[in-house]
């Protein structure tokens, strides 16, 4: 590793990596590298130079610093330039005066074509200029907040896989499963796309198939009655002094043999054969 000198350090074609921490003069070095690349002939115009940074404020500052250095190089050298502006003075001493003036004056005329932008705005430029080759719209819309899109995706998924399926709907009601819980989970999990679930989460189609197999032995009337019974269990829990009594309700429920409701038009009751549910 060598210390980087924006005037003398050779810059080879291809990838070069400069490591620098905060406050070490990155903006200063880049603003002086642009005129150096122009004067060396590495680039013929400022329009061939792309400067990418993180924020809009940083991009604005970098563009202003480059313009300032070019303006200072185009002006005559001051008596105290070596002391007050050593970067500009070093560039002026490195290149002949005639070629420097011609190149820098041309760069100032084209300085508005210098592309200084953020990562997001650069990606937007690429989509606008080259996106049609991939079938994208000429003016793509930049989404800065995915909350609305994510909410709609979850709602659409529920409409297709939950609301339209009797078994899934029954499980939703009996288990207190709410769409708001799924939306919140998706928002929490979105920043971690590579995360793995332990234990592994089965595919939704496999889960639905299991539910359908579970309910296939009962008709619709029994299913609705079972759902009504599930809804009564939390109420009984409040009235019981211990969890043992509540668990006994579940054991009796799982062991019960259900038959078709014959005396209730709205399926509000469920008849049990051979067992008494309390």
Q: Do 148 and 212 fall within a single domain?
A: yes
Strands (E), the chain: 50-53, 115-118, 257-258, 272-273
Tens-place pLDDT, residues 202-245 = 777 777 677 667 656 655 666 566 556 555 555 554 554 455 65
Q: pLDDT digits over 7-45, tens only?
A: 889 888 888 888 888 888 899 999 999 999 999 999 999
Do residues 246 and 179 share a domain? no
- 275 — pLDDT class (breaks 50, 70, 90): very low
Count up the domains in the chain and report the number: 3
The CA-based dihedral angle spanning residues 186, 190, 196, 200, taken in that order and rounded to the nearest 10 degrees = 20
Domain that holds residue 200: 144-216
Question: Residue 15: inside a domain, yes or no?
Answer: no
* Residue 246 and residue 236 share a domain: yes
In a domain, 104, yes or no: yes
Inter-residue contact 16 to 4 (CB < 8 Å): no
Q: Do residues 231 and 173 lie in contact, with contact meaning Cβ atoms separated by under 8 Å?
A: yes
CA distance 164 to 159: 6
């Amino acid at each position: 590793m060598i210390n980087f000198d924006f005037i003398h350090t050779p810059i080879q074609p291809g990838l070069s990596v400069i490591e620098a921490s905060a406050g070490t003069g990155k903006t200063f070095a880049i603003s002086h590298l642009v005129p150096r690349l122009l004067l060396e002939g590495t680039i013929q115009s400022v329009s061939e130079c792309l400067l990418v940074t993180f924020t809009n404020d940083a991009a604005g500052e970098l563009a202003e610093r480059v313009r300032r250095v070019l303006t200072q190089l185009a002006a005559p050298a001051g008596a105290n330039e070596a002391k007050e502006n050593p970067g500009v003075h070093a560039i002026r001493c490195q290149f002949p005066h005639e070629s420097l003036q011609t190149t820098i004056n041309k760069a100032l005329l084209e300085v508005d074509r210098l592309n200084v932008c953020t990562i997001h705005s650069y990606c937007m430029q690429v989509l606008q200029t080259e996106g049609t080759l991939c079938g994208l719209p000429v003016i793509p819309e930049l989404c800065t907040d995915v909350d609305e899109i994510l909410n709609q995706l979850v709602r659409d998924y529920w409409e297709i896989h939950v609301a339209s399926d009797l078994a899934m709907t029954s499980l939703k009601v009996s288990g207190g499963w709410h769409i708001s819980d799924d939306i919140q989970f998706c928002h929490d999990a979105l920043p971690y796309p590579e995360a793995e679930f332990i234990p592994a989460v089965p595919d939704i189609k496999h889960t639905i198939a299991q539910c359908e197999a579970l309910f296939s032995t009962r008709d619709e009337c029994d299913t609705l009655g079972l759902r009504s019974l599930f809804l009564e269990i939390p109420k009984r829990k409040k009235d019981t002094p211990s969890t043992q009594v509540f668990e006994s309700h579940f054991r009796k429920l799982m062991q019960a043999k259900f038959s078709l409701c014959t005396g209730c038009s709205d399926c509000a009751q469920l008849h049990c054969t051979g067992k008494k549910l309390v």
